[in-house]
């Protein structure tokens, strides 16, 4: 009689290890993550304050803004002397760190794209072909709207810093900051 009772107690004690309570904790964490992401989208002005849901494109934009934030803030500060009009203070967070807003990201992307077009044209890509350049992996440097892609920002930044980087014209001709290796010419 004692053996079945002990087995029953042992199984009951192990039920928590089987995941009986884990989904509630994981679910709460997921809800907290979604709430934090929504707050950040509001702070960065990706979404208006009356919106409580976002589209996948909004999440992608948030990721691009986060990835380029440091470079964008440096660029805007150098080009325009400050970043205040393109940043927002974090609400209720200490210490106060200003966040790049959607408007700031758009301003950065527009001006860095113009600089990149001028750079690539000066390096031999004709005005007609500059927007059709690719990196060595075949990723386009400019999107269909004429803005730099993440690959384009990488190539342009490395080229501007005179680091080794290469790009291709639509006809397959290779350009770069160094002489391209014979295998890729």
What is the pLDDT, as a whole number, of residue 86?
92
- Per-residue model confidence (pLDDT) at position 89: 83
The predicted pLDDT at position 34 comes to 86
Q: What is the pLDDT of residues 42-78, one digit of tens each?
A: 999 999 989 989 999 999 999 999 999 999 999 999 9
Neighbour count for residue 147 (Cβ, 10 Å): 16
Map out the domains of the chain as residue ranges.
60-184
Tell me the helices (H) and strands (E) count for the chain, helix number first: 5, 5
The reported pLDDT for the residue numbered 123 is 87
Distance CA 17, CA 20 (A): 7
Q: How many Å apart are CA 183 and CA 166, to the nearest integer?
A: 13
What average pLDDT does range 155-177 have in this prediction? 91
The pLDDT score that the predictor gives to residue 3 is 44
Which pTM value belongs to this model? Answer: 0.76
Give the largest Cα separation in the chain, rounded: 90
Scored b (16 or more CB within 10 A) or e, 59-89 reads: eebbeebeebbeebbebbeeeeeebeebbbe
For the cut 90, the answer to whether the pLDDT of residue 79 exceeds it is yes
Residues 168, 159: Cα–Cα separation, whole Å: 13
């Amino acid at each position: 009689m004692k053996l079945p009772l002990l087995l029953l107690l042992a199984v009951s004690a192990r039920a928590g290890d089987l995941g009986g309570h884990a989904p509630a904790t994981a679910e709460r964490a997921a809800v907290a993550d979604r709430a934090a992401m929504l707050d950040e989208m509001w702070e960065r002005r990706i979404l208006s304050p009356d919106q409580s849901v976002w589209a996948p494109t909004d999440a992608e934009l948030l990721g691009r803004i986060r990835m380029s934030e440091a470079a964008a803030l440096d660029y805007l500060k150098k080009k325009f002397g400050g970043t205040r009009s393109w940043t927002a203070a974090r609400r209720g967070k200490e210490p106060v760190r200003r966040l790049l807003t959607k408007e700031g990201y758009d301003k950065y992307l527009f001006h860095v794209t113009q600089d990149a077009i001028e750079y690539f044209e000066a390096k031999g890509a004709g005005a007609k072909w500059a927007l059709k350049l690719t990196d060595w992996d075949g990723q386009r440097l400019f999107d269909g709207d004429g803005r730099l892609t993440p690959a384009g920002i990488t190539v342009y930044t490395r080229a501007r810093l005179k680091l080794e980087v290469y790009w291709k014209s639509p006809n397959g001709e290779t350009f770069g900051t160094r002489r391209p290796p014979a295998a890729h010419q």
